[in-house]
Amino acid sequence: MSEVENESTSAPETAAAFMEALNATDSNGTDALNATAKFVATPEGTALAYGSLVLMALVPIFFGALRSVACSKSKNTSDMPETITSRDAARFPIIASCTLFGLYLFFKVFSQAYINLLLSVYFFVLGVLALSHTISPLLSRVIPSSVPNKQYQLLFTQGTGENKEEIINYEFDTNNLVCLLASGVVGVWYILKKHWIANNLFGLAFALNGVELLHLNNVSTGCILLGGLFVYDIFWVFGTNVMVTVAKSFEAPIKLVFPQDLLEKGLDASNFAMLGLGDIVIPGIFIALLLRFDVSLKKNSRTYFCSSFLAYIFGLGLTIFVMHTFKHAQPALLYLVPACVGFPVVVALFKGELTEMFRYEESIGDEGLAKDDSSEPLKKDQ
């Protein structure tokens, strides 16, 4: 998907990564250095930026995976996960490529300012909802039970009598409204200032919700998805300038950034290291699947989750090392996919559970087991 990279700008509007595919890329830094006064990050500033990016990437994966376990058992329709089948996984790189190239053509034909204005409004709405959904469980634990928490229901129907259909049926409470208001304040801050902290709040919320609510139905589907995006990432980063062009033009909170000159300039820093959300969400949903597989084994261990989580840290660290060594943006999935798939497979081979791991089929709530498009319905284990 996207890569870890350096970004040097003198304006608060930084180049963003793209899409559902969520890609972020940049040139090797030559253009940026020629455009502005050369900035040489201190070793301390570089270490702080990269360390912060790694930490910010791990937070939504860890907590999103934990929340995905409860989400898979939820009976609340508003919290039901979206299941990705093998057919979806096979088509995703193609859809992502078409979307990426379509955005490239849009930016070539239409005014960048108008496109980014529409994107800002769109991601403002999405960001407020995502952040509200993220912090709502935290607020529920903090607020004392003695504080009244009224329940509300938003219901839209169509037709009358026996022909009446529910269009929208959403239940919420006072805590949800407070979270929505707080998230709206962050959204206004982002729209007006495009500040990197506001960007990261929305980015973390997007990533955590993605890991929590996007579920792979089995390990094979995860391998198909990661394999396809492995090729996608390499092609669009090294094969063309499409992703670079889109990333430089696309302004949206779908990347995490951290300034390398924070120690020198404080919160007004403008030289950013960047990580696209695709490098978090795509491996994250695979890691979350392995956690749910651990839970299904009922062995009171989290072997596959821990191995894949450590593999992600290794792969991301290797990405940063290669990028820093060669001074060139890297497609992080080039390193993350082999690590996140390879480590758990080796562990499964060692434990003699490889067949069991690939036969695992995701169950969702009380609806039975999620079914792949190409397989027969499976029965629950008794």
- The residues that are catalytic are 233, 279
Distance in angstroms (rounded) separating the CA atoms of residues 36 and 9:
7
Distance in angstroms (rounded) separating the CA atoms of residues 361 and 365:
13
Distance in angstroms (rounded) separating the CA atoms of residues 89 and 224:
6
Backbone angles phi, psi at 301, to 5 degrees: -140, 160
Task: List the structure tokens of 270.
Answer: 């403008």
Distance in angstroms (rounded) separating the CA atoms of residues 244 and 231:
17
The order of strands in the sheet holding 271-276 is 4-8, 271-276, 255-259
Name the DSSP letter for residue 238.
Answer: I
**Encoded amino acid at 141, one letter:** R
Task: List the structure tokens of 5.
Answer: 């990279």
- Give the closest residue to 128 by CA, choosing from 171, 180, 197: 180
Distance in angstroms (rounded) separating the CA atoms of residues 294 and 353:
11
Name the DSSP letter for residue 47.
Answer: H
**Encoded amino acid at 266, one letter:** G
Distances (CA, A) of 300 to 219, 292, 296, 297, 361: 20, 12, 10, 8, 19
Distance in angstroms (rounded) separating the CA atoms of residues 322 and 376:
44
Distance in angstroms (rounded) separating the CA atoms of residues 356 and 340:
18
